[in-house]
Structure 1
Amino acid sequence: MRKFKTNSDTRKNVTTLAFLSLAVGVLLILRFGQLMINKTVNNIDLVEYGQNNDMGSSITEARRGTIFDQNGQPIAMDTTSYSMYAVLNSSWDDNEVVDTDYTARVLSNYLDLTQDEILTILLNPDANQVEFGEAGKNITPDTKTLIDNENLPGIKFDSQVKRQYVNDYFASHLIGYAVTEFDEELNTTVLKGQIGIESGLDGRLSGIDQYKTNLDNNIQADYLSGDDVYLTLDSRLQNFMEDLLDINYKRYQPEEVSAYLVEVETGRLLTAAQRPSFNLNTREGIEQKWTNMLVEEAFEPGSTIKILTLATSYDLGLYQPGETFMSGEVAVYDQIVRDYNLYGWGEITFDEGLSRSSNVGVVKLVERMGEDKWVQVLEELGFGKSTQSGLPNETEGSLQFDNPVSKIMSSFGQGFAASPIQLLQAYTTIGNDGKQMKIQYIDRMKSSQNTFESEVLGQPITEEAADHVLGLMVNTVEESYGTAQDFKNQTVNIAAKTGTAQIADPNGNGYLTGDYDYYFSVVAFFPAEDPEFMLYISMKQPNNPQGRTGSQILSEIFHPFVENVMINQ
């Protein structure tokens, strides 16, 4: 028999339910009060938690600054690309592929796939949604618009912001690259600089520096907006140098080759090219060499350093014009230093010694100067310390000497190591009336207005000494005994000094001994009568020299580039 509830039972249940509801209500009120008063839950400070999580969760847009050359030509910029996919079967969206044959035929006009290949993808029986591999990625906005206009049901796109570089090879290691990464602190996806300028200026290019500054000043924003950067590079000259290095690298197969053009009076870096290099957009080739040779590699500079030895000696009055010495060899403590031809040229002047690239001549001058004084001069010129370039992983080089013999041998560029940027800064003194200029690669930030300011690091050499050595460098090119005759140019007068630096044996003491186991280099100023430009080219170990000297190989880069600079001014 079924029992029916009495009125007494009903009243008991209602009373119980009312009591439970009241108890829950009281607990909720107490809990809400705790949150309002203590602002904690489960031992978590809600105020601090909110502050820590405000930063990234509200960001809805991120724009990385564009990198331009000095003339406003874009080098690196943000672009939107698309990945395409097809919805084959969906329980929540009726926008599905309807006619697979027709869809495959139309898409074959836009993708690097055949109609049959696309049809195979669309007929996948086990998938509700399919992608189109690499062919369906990195689709441009224009191509997406064309596909959209075809009105193909089920064909959809995801958008991605990526970094696009106008030229595949363009000062690649100096520019660097940026890739999409998730920033845990911001709790959002951003383009993150990896090497070069993209890395060194990442905070400003990404906008993160300004975003954090705004937060510190209680200014809220839901976007990242990076600063545009204008470099000192000249795209026209840079692209031409890239082409020349390509030809040289393929023909003579050096281990490395690099070239840098500097505006002498300002220190602006106009070109910076190296091989091996890599494709900025695909990163192809970067495994071969990750380092930016301008700042990350140091080597013995060789005889180009002699222009500083002569200028300092002239300033200190250590020799008089016309004064002679006996070339060939000289004893340095327990070692014998010889000229490169082993026997010298008899009695010659110190000035002629520079044009002939005499080791003995500069050794005798440093002996008069005092080895410690000479090392002090090198320190004052910036060797052995960072140039504060702002680029990642800059080396300080090496100016540590184990013995007095090495100190004296540094007079002809042996026994210490310097990076190209250190050499460029030191060599500006010769072409710029003795004033040393800081090498700069940033022309201006944010604005298209020119706000560049050159920076004089000092005047370690007098104008008279700089002009004297510049004249000797002209002789080095023009005279029959000069070692830089390969750099005599028909378009403009050249002042130049070559270098042939030994390479330390990586497997033991001493140096490599092969005929081409050297760093071959040249530093040149032009027009020689009033220098506007300094060009420094260096090449390591050409593996296929084809019977040509180091200077002859470098001259094939030098002449067309110099003529291009002068003709197109």
Structure 2
Amino acid sequence: MSEKQSNHSNLNILLLIGVAAITFILLGARFFQLNVTQSSHGEDLVEYIEDSQDPRSSIIEAKRGTIYDIQGQPIAIDTTSYSMYAVLQGGNGYDAVEDRDHTAKVLSNYIDMTRDEVLDILLNYEAIQVEFGTAGSNMSQETRDAIEEENLPGVYFVSQSSRQYVNDYFSSHLIGYASKQEQNNSWMPTADILTGQIGIESAYDAELSGQNTIENNPDLVERTRTLLGEDIYLTLDSRLQHYMEELLDYSYNKYQPEEMSAYLVEVETGKLLTAAQRPTFNLNTREGIQTQWTNQLVEEVYEPGSTMKILTQGTAYDMGVYKPDELVETGSTEIEDVTVRDYNLYGWGPITFDEGLSRSSNVTIVELIRRIGIDKWTNQLSEFGFGQTTGSGLANEATGTVEFDNPVSATMSGFGQGFATTPIQLLQAFTSIANDGKMMKIQYLNGIGENDEFQPIEINRPISEEAADHIVDLMVNTVNEEYGTAQEYSVPGVQIAAKTGTAQIANPDGLGYLEGANDYYFSVVSFFPAEDPKYMLYFSMKRPTNDHNIMGSQILAEIFRPFVEYVSVYE
């Protein structure tokens, strides 16, 4: 043999020795885990034997309640899978495998292993119990039941619960998610149960997880070792929500704003029918959650812009501070040492106050605030619910700010600058315009368990029915008249009442506002059908980075129109 051949042969021998050594170490570690630590996948198999009163079930059956939409379609469900293991040395009330060959033959019919592969595992005479790797994991209940019907001594199962969301993207920040958290309770000694982390999953964790059952009937839970959560029914409509998610995906990807949000409300009841935002995250994988944890509906605080003008004008109409035919000069006006201008800088000459709303004049609103008076206006902001939470029950709901340290910001709040609010506060206040002056609580919960009777809640009546109807008419003009600023929101066959908003964004690095071409918070609030409003639709978008040479209101109109058409057909 040549020296070269000899070296090659020696190298092969060394490789074989190395592979054998690694295999021995891995097998030894697995043997140590099963026979010394007596655990697998982080679970103590001995505890399963010692703690379980029923050897053919897990130590506790914990089922989290299902979350349904308003039509009874599931949104979030518990899925239970099973892992199989075999006891080779009986004791503590557990039988051992008797006929290993027969057991291997039967099991090979149900799992992805051959008879010989199963038998090889069962012939480990030194192990107390063994498992069957991935082939014996994540089994369905049907497979588990079928194996149990074979009456194989020594074959047992452990259940694992996981939370599954029917759709990856579905009002993700509002729904939230649940994940396993280790529990240290006398009634559940080693079990992990699903615990809500954010959103509705967190806000109603006690109901969904069954904690209420424990508090009300702890003996039942301890005796049956079963923990059943209550089901929750939401006001969200899956069909509408799906389409809303699709439209937001399209617009978000095309125009690349920092944020977007969209909400549909049934104005007479305050039911929240859709709630979507971007950025969002995948409910099942959590992909994207690191980008934004914030639930914009209740946590986002911003200056709303000109959509506020409908509340200001409604208040002024009620107080009788202007006459229908009275004219006011537009263009610019002074608030102490600050000049306020209309968005076109020069105005439209003398116009009526009502035309001023349809043209979205800042100057006419400033004059109305002067006549109302800052004290009365500040009090009216409270009547509309600003500066206080809506009692949504969701974590971290912000109150916004309506405390003014100067007349300038107090006056500017009339056209949506100088104060901060949340989307849910705006939605709640806007219901008063569409609902004959009645301000309805925005609700996303339709019922819990057997108590599924939804109850509308009237919060306040900040304006009169006459004023509300008048403002809706002016919002129709804003869409239909040639001078209206919401002409892009016209939808064939549907009478739309709408008001747009373009709010400056406060400079996070100092005083004043950002001054870039798209450094605005664009929004629109609408009611339809305008002759008897049933729905309120609100869209918002912050700082689009790729505007494709169109204005923010036009960007929102692109998804507004098809959604209104879809809702109208859906009815």
Taking structure 1 as the reference length, what is the TM-score of the superposition?
Answer: 0.80
Amino acid at match of 1:267: G
Equivalents in 2 of 1:460, 1:313: separation in Å? 12
Aligned to 2:392: 389
- Of residues 325, 330, 333, the one that matches 2:328 is 325
Note the 1:453-492 alignment, pairs <5 A. Answer: 453-492=455-494
With over 3 angstroms needed to count, the CA separation of the structure-2 counterparts of 1:168 and 1:155, relative to structure 1, is farther
Moved more, 381-390 or 181-190: 181-190
Equivalents in 1 of 2:462, 2:223: separation in Å? 50
Aligned to 2:67: 67
How far does residue 213 in structure 1 lie from its aligned partner after superposition? Answer: 2.8
With over 3 angstroms needed to count, the CA separation of the structure-2 counterparts of 1:256 and 1:143, relative to structure 1, is farther
Aligned to 2:556: 554
Aligned to 1:509: 511
Partner deviation per Cα, 1:434-484 (whole Å, 9 max, x = no partner): 110000111122128x51111111211101110111000000001111110
Conservation of the 8 A alpha-carbon contact between 1:84 and 1:131: yes
Conservation of the 8 A alpha-carbon contact between 1:214 and 1:220: no
Aligned to 1:297: 300
SS in 2 for 1:259: strand
Equivalents in 2 of 1:554, 1:153: separation in Å? 65
Conservation of the 8 A alpha-carbon contact between 2:318 and 2:467: yes
> RMSD in angstroms over aligned alpha carbons?
3.5
Aligned to 1:530: 532
How far does residue 251 in structure 1 lie from its aligned partner after superposition? Answer: 1.2
Equivalents in 2 of 1:215, 1:145: separation in Å? 29
With over 3 angstroms needed to count, the CA separation of the structure-2 counterparts of 1:143 and 1:90, relative to structure 1, is closer
Aligned to 1:544: 546
With over 3 angstroms needed to count, the CA separation of the structure-2 counterparts of 1:149 and 1:255, relative to structure 1, is farther
Partner deviation per Cα, 1:376-421 (whole Å, 9 max, x = no partner): 1001111001101111111111112221110001011001111110
Amino acid at match of 1:561: F
How far does residue 107 in structure 1 lie from its aligned partner after superposition? Answer: 9.9
With over 3 angstroms needed to count, the CA separation of the structure-2 counterparts of 1:266 and 1:446, relative to structure 1, is same
Equivalents in 2 of 1:364, 1:136: separation in Å? 75
How far does residue 80 in structure 1 lie from its aligned partner after superposition? Answer: 0.5
Equivalents in 1 of 2:136, 2:479: separation in Å? 57
Conservation of the 8 A alpha-carbon contact between 1:432 and 1:531: yes
Amino acid at match of 2:173: H
Aligned to 1:16: none
Aligned to 1:34: none
Unaligned runs of 5+ in 2: 1-57, 91-95
Is the counterpart of residue 165 in structure 1 residue 178 in structure 2? no
Conservation of the 8 A alpha-carbon contact between 1:254 and 1:540: yes
Is the counterpart of residue 237 in structure 1 residue 240 in structure 2? yes
Aligned to 2:440: 437
Conservation of the 8 A alpha-carbon contact between 1:372 and 1:407: no
With over 3 angstroms needed to count, the CA separation of the structure-2 counterparts of 1:395 and 1:137, relative to structure 1, is farther
Aligned to 2:262: 259
Conservation of the 8 A alpha-carbon contact between 2:494 and 2:529: yes
With over 3 angstroms needed to count, the CA separation of the structure-2 counterparts of 1:416 and 1:250, relative to structure 1, is same
Partner deviation per Cα, 1:256-284 (whole Å, 9 max, x = no partner): 11100000101010001111111111111
Aligned to 1:518: 520
Aligned to 1:413: 416
Note the 1:123-138 alignment, pairs <5 A. Answer: 138=138
Aligned to 2:210: 207
Amino acid at match of 1:78: D
How far does residue 153 in structure 1 lie from its aligned partner after superposition? Answer: 13
With over 3 angstroms needed to count, the CA separation of the structure-2 counterparts of 1:96 and 1:379, relative to structure 1, is farther
Amino acid at match of 1:390: G
Conservation of the 8 A alpha-carbon contact between 2:525 and 2:536: yes
Aligned to 2:231: 228
How far does residue 246 in structure 1 lie from its aligned partner after superposition? Answer: 1.1
With over 3 angstroms needed to count, the CA separation of the structure-2 counterparts of 1:132 and 1:512, relative to structure 1, is farther
With over 3 angstroms needed to count, the CA separation of the structure-2 counterparts of 1:179 and 1:409, relative to structure 1, is same
Considering only CA atoms, is the larger Rg found in Structure 1 or Structure 2? Answer: 1
Note the 1:44-55 alignment, pairs <5 A. Answer: none
Conservation of the 8 A alpha-carbon contact between 1:59 and 1:223: no
Amino acid at match of 1:352: E
Conservation of the 8 A alpha-carbon contact between 2:187 and 2:222: no
Conservation of the 8 A alpha-carbon contact between 2:332 and 2:347: yes
Is the counterpart of residue 427 in structure 1 residue 402 in structure 2? no
SS in 1 for 2:258: strand
Aligned to 1:174: 174
With over 3 angstroms needed to count, the CA separation of the structure-2 counterparts of 1:146 and 1:554, relative to structure 1, is farther
- Of residues 342, 345, 357, the one that matches 1:342 is 345
Amino acid at match of 1:250: N
Aligned to 2:19: none
How far does residue 84 in structure 1 lie from its aligned partner after superposition? Answer: 6.9
Conservation of the 8 A alpha-carbon contact between 2:383 and 2:460: no
Equivalents in 1 of 2:269, 2:408: separation in Å? 37
Equivalents in 2 of 1:82, 1:414: separation in Å? 57
Conservation of the 8 A alpha-carbon contact between 2:97 and 2:155: no
Taking structure 2 as the reference length, what is the TM-score of the superposition?
Answer: 0.79
Aligned to 2:372: 369
Conservation of the 8 A alpha-carbon contact between 2:110 and 2:143: no
Equivalents in 2 of 1:136, 1:300: separation in Å? 56
How far does residue 81 in structure 1 lie from its aligned partner after superposition? Answer: 2.1
Unaligned runs of 5+ in 1: 1-57
How far does residue 91 in structure 1 lie from its aligned partner after superposition? Answer: 7.0
Equivalents in 1 of 2:338, 2:98: separation in Å? 85
Conservation of the 8 A alpha-carbon contact between 1:59 and 1:224: no
With over 3 angstroms needed to count, the CA separation of the structure-2 counterparts of 1:325 and 1:69, relative to structure 1, is same
Amino acid at match of 1:492: V
Moved more, 357-366 or 183-192: 183-192
Conservation of the 8 A alpha-carbon contact between 2:332 and 2:339: yes
Partner deviation per Cα, 1:485-542 (whole Å, 9 max, x = no partner): 1100013110000001111111221111111111110000000110000000111111
Equivalents in 2 of 1:563, 1:232: separation in Å? 21
SS in 1 for 2:214: helix
SS in 2 for 1:254: coil
Amino acid at match of 2:538: Y
